[in-house]
Structures are given as C-alpha cells and as structure tokens.
C-alpha cells in the first residue's frame, strides 16, 4: 500500500482525495441505477395488478412479446425489491397460446390497448375457443381508426403518489442530486486535468482494493481474537470453580492436570483427584482408562459392551457420573469440550493386559479390527504413561493444611516419651499391606500391554 501510494502521487494535487471522489461517485451511480430499476419493476408490478379479463395488452419484452388478451388477472403484491410476489396474469397470445406471464415479460409497465368481452362459455382448453377469441382481438384492433383516439384504458385509480412512492421519489432525487454534486467536484479537482490521471487512477484503485482487504482481514482477526479470549475466560472460570486455578495461579491439582494431554484430560484429572482408580489392578486400570481414549464406530443403539468383573463396572459408572457433572459445569459456562466416555474397549484392554492371545481378544470383540486394536492399545499406553507421570505430582489433598500441623507446645518433649522398657506390653501390630501407588499400577499396566503385535508395530515408528 505504501508503494502504491507513492506511485499515485500527482504534482497537481491530492490524488488520494480525487480517487476517493471517483470511488464514491461510482458507488452512488450504482445505487441510483439500482433504485431506478427497482422503481421500474414496482411500476410494472402495479400495472399488472390493474389488469382485468378482456384487456388487450402489449407485452413489451420476453419470449412472449406482442399482443395478448388477459384471461385471468394475476396477484401481484410487491416485495421490497419491487418484484411481484404472486403469479402473473393468464393471457391468450396472438399465436393462440395460453400462457402465464411473469415479471420478466414486463421490463416496463403493461400497456392496455383496448378491451373486448370474453364469452362466458370460453374454455382455455378448447382450440376452437382460442381461435375465435384471437380472431375477435384482431378484428377489434383492425376496426379501430388509426388516426382516432386510443382505445379505452383502465383508469389508474389508487395509483396516485402515496407515501411509499413519494419516499422512493425523494430517495431517487437525493441520489441524483448527490451524483450531480460529485461530478461537479470531480471536474473541479486539480488532478482532473492531469495527463497521467488514468495511470494514477489505476494505482489508486489497487490501493483502495488493498485497503478494503486489509480492513476485512483486521475485522476477521479481531472477531476471532475476541472469540478466543471469551472462550479462554470461560475455561479459566471452569478451572477456577474446580480448584485447578486460584485467580492467575495454578494450583498443585492444576499442575497435575497440565501433565495430561488427552481429549478428556479434565475427566482424567478428576478421576485421579477423587481416587477412583486407587486400588485397581493393572488390568482393571487399563480397562477403566480405555474409556477415555477409545471411540467406537458402533451406532448409539448398539448392544451394551461386555464388561470385566468387579470393581471395573462400579469404577466406570463413577467415571460416567463424574463426566456428567463436568459436562453440566461446561454447559453452564457455554462450553462443550468433553465427550462422553466410551466403554467399548474395556473388555479387550482387560483381557490383553491379563495376557490373553490376540486371536482370543479379537474373537471376543468381533466389531474390533486388528488395526483398530493396535491403535487403541497404543493410545491407551500413552495415556497410562501420562497418568503415571502426573500422579507423582503432589495433589492439594496430599499437602497437610496448616490446621492439621501440631503446634510446638503440643509436641511432647523427649523426656515425656516413655522409654521402650517403660512402655506397656502389647501385642505387636499386625503388618499392614499398603496398596501400590497409581504410578506403580500404571507402569505395570503399560508393561503388561506392551507386548506382541503392539511392540512390533512400533518398529516402523
């Protein structure tokens, strides 16, 4: 644009101003032309509404130009662009054809030349009736005195300048006055007499076109930026409501969420925070996590998928309830990111993690192809790896609150602690079995699933 602005510089005056006048003049001339065309169409439509049976008219244009007799009037309510909205009149042409005329046949108002009486027994389907009526029209027009007064015309009652017509004429007059003023300013501008005027004008047209494109791009970018900003604020509102954000600060639970990269990352983080996967075996964990990565191709009305035994069904039900809560929270904030968990791969993931052969796994899930199975297992392994890493980030529930830390005065002194010999005799406490952490279980599930055809499929990666 800067280069074009330099190229269109004129030593006689401001050519950018001159180009602006030319552009505005072109726009106003187009508006005036469209307004006049609309007025002509409106006048033609109104003239068609005044036609009555027996009127001999001259069709000014279209394929049926010529004389015709009106058999049935048309219904012509005028639309905003001046076009008739209803069907046109039914006429009998000079060639004895019965046709329905339209707005395209009347670029100008319909002209009523004369009028004849149509017999009450006339039938448009009868060739003889059409022939007789066409002959009556020719005889009526032939009997007219060429030098005499024209035949009877329909009085134009109700066609006086009403409020709408007056408004249309006012707009046309204003446009015509503005066009005349712009033409006067154009001729009086110093650049109008420049010998290189048209060369400068070409550079100016390219400059104005690029300016329009630039403004359009800026509006598009601004609109999209506003949408992104609004969506970002809504997402932050959801995360703050759930405790993953505190203002602009990411909480410990938020840091755990940041380590998950899946379509249902928020649901996975909530399952970890609520402990829904704690205490599961590697195969059970693989079955439950598969609901976050798998998307079946079956119809919604398909039979329910096969499930492993307890506690997998209860855990999956709790995951679906958690998803429903998150989905409602998203809807309350005009968001929709989380799809419903899909349970269609739980049985296959469970059996594969327990060491079943590939043939047996595919036979038990006939809707699953070998390619879909390998792809689903690799996606599941990837998410299990993320869960194992994210679960090592301390959650907010694992950090003791200030009220739970004992004060210094409440900590017994060393002299107050009874010695081992002074402690009352008691049975030794029973050994407690601590369940493996979620990270350990997830790593074990990965090791159990990364075998056979899944391992070989990674060679090409």
pLDDT digits (tens, 9 = 90+) for 335-376: 888 889 999 899 999 999 999 888 888 888 878 888 889 999
Confidence of residue 434 (pLDDT cuts 50, 70, 90): low
Say how many C-beta atoms besides its own lie within 10 A of residue 87's C-beta.
Answer: 14
Q: Are 335 and 238 in contact (CB under 8 A)?
A: yes
Of 101, 88, 107, 132, the closest CA to residue 40 belongs to 107
Report field, pTM of the whole predicted structure over 0.75: no
Say how many C-beta atoms besides its own lie within 10 A of residue 35's C-beta.
Answer: 18
* 3-class secondary-structure state, position 90: strand
Q: What is the pLDDT of residue 161?
A: 41
Q: What is the pLDDT of residue 421?
A: 38
Q: What is the pLDDT of residues 240-272, one digit of tens each?
A: 999 999 988 999 999 999 999 989 999 999 999
Q: What is the pLDDT of residues 283-320, one digit of tens each?
A: 999 999 999 999 887 655 567 788 888 899 999 999 99
Distances (CA, A) of 456 to 345, 370, 377, 450, 453: 21, 13, 13, 9, 5
Helix axes 370-390, 282-293, angle to 10 degrees: 110
Whether the upstream peptide bond of residue 404 has omega within 30° of 0, thus cis, is no
Q: Are 138 and 153 in contact (CB under 8 A)?
A: no
| Neighbouring C-alpha atoms within 13 Å toward the C-beta of 149 | 3
Q: What is the pLDDT of residue 320?
A: 94
């Amino acid at each position: 644009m800067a280069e074009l602005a330099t190229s269109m510089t004129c030593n006689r005056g401001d050519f950018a101003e001159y180009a602006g006048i030319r552009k505005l003049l072109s726009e106003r001339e187009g508006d005036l032309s469209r307004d006049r065309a609309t007025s002509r169409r409106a006048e033609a439509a109104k003239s068609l509404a005044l036609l009555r049976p027996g009127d001999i008219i001259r069709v000014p244009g279209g394929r049926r130009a010529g004389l015709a007799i009106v058999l049935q009037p048309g219904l012509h309510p005028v639309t905003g662009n001046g076009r008739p909205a209803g069907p046109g009149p039914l006429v009998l042409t000079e060639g004895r054809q019965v046709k329905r005329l339209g707005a395209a046949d009347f670029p100008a108002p319909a002209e009523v030349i004369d009028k004849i009486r149509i017999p009450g027994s006339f039938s448009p389907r009868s060739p003889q009736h059409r022939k007789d009526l066409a002959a009556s029209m020719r005889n009526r027009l032939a009997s007219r005195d060429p030098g005499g007064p024209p035949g009877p015309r329909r009085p134009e009652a109700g066609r006086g300048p009403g409020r709408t017509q007056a408004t249309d004429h006012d707009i046309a007059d204003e446009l015509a006055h503005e066009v005349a003023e712009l033409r006067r300013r154009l001729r009086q501008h110093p650049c109008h007499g420049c010998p290189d005027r048209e060369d400068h004008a070409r550079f100016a047209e390219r400059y104005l076109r690029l300016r329009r494109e630039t403004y359009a791009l800026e509006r598009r970018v601004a609109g999209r930026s506003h949408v992104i900003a609004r969506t970002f604020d809504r997402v932050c509102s959801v995360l703050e409501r759930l405790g993953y954000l505190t203002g602009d600060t990411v909480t410990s639970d938020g840091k755990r969420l940041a380590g998950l990269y899946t379509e249902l990352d928020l649901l996975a983080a909530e399952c970890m925070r609520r402990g829904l996967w704690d205490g599961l075996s590697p195969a059970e964990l693989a079955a439950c996590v598969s609901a976050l990565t798998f998307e079946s191709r079956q119809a919604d009305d398909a039979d329910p998928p096969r499930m492993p035994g307890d506690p997998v069904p209860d855990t999956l039900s709790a995951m679906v309830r958690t998803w429903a809560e998150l989905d409602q929270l998203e809807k309350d904030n005009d968001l929709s990111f989380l799809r419903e968990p899909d349970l269609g791969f739980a049985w296959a993931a469970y059996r594969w993690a327990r060491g079943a052969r590939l043939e047996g796994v595919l036979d038990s899930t006939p809707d699953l192809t070998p390619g879909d199975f390998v792809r689903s297992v690799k996606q599941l392994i990837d998410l299990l790896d993320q869960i194992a890493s994210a679960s090592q980030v301390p959650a907010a529930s694992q950090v003791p609150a200030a009220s739970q830390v004992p004060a210094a005065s409440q900590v017994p002194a060393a002299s107050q602690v009874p010695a081992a010999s002074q402690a009352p005799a008691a049975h030794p406490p029973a050994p407690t079995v601590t369940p493996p952490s979620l990270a350990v279980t997830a790593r074990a599930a990965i090791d159990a699933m990364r075998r056979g055809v899944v391992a070989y499929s990674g060679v090409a990666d």
